Amino acid sequence: QSALTQPASVSGSPGQSITISCTGTSSDVGSYNLVSWYQQHPGKAPKLMIYEVSKRPSGVSNRFSGSKSGNTASLTISGLQAEDEADYYCCSYAGSRRVFGGGTKLTVL
Partner 1 sequence: QITLKESGPTLVKPTQTLTLTCTFSGFSLSTSGVGVGWIRQPPGKALEWLALIYWDDDKRYSPSLKSRLTITKDTSKNQVVLTMTNMDPVDTATYYCAHDRGGWYRGYFDYWGQGTLVTVSS
Interface residues with partner 1 (CB under 8 A) are 1, 3, 34, 36, 38, 45-48, 51-52, 57, 89, 91, 93, 96-103
Give whichever of 72 and 87 is closer to partner 1, judged by the CB atom: 87
* CA pseudo-torsion sign 45, 69, 14, 102: positive
Give whichever of 89 and 108 is closer to partner 1, judged by the CB atom: 89
Closest approach of Cβ 16 to partner 1, in Å? 26
* CA pseudo-torsion sign 23, 28, 34, 37: negative
Give whichever of 72 and 100 is closer to partner 1, judged by the CB atom: 100
For residues 89 and 70, the answer to whether their CB atoms sit within 8 Å is no
Closest approach of Cβ 107 to partner 1, in Å? 16
User: What does the alpha-carbon distance between residue 41 and residue 57 come to, in Å, rounded to a whole number?
Assistant: 18
Closest approach of Cβ 52 to partner 1, in Å? 7
- Report CA-CA distances (Å) from 40 to 10, 22, 71, 103: 15, 16, 24, 10
Closest approach of Cβ 77 to partner 1, in Å? 19
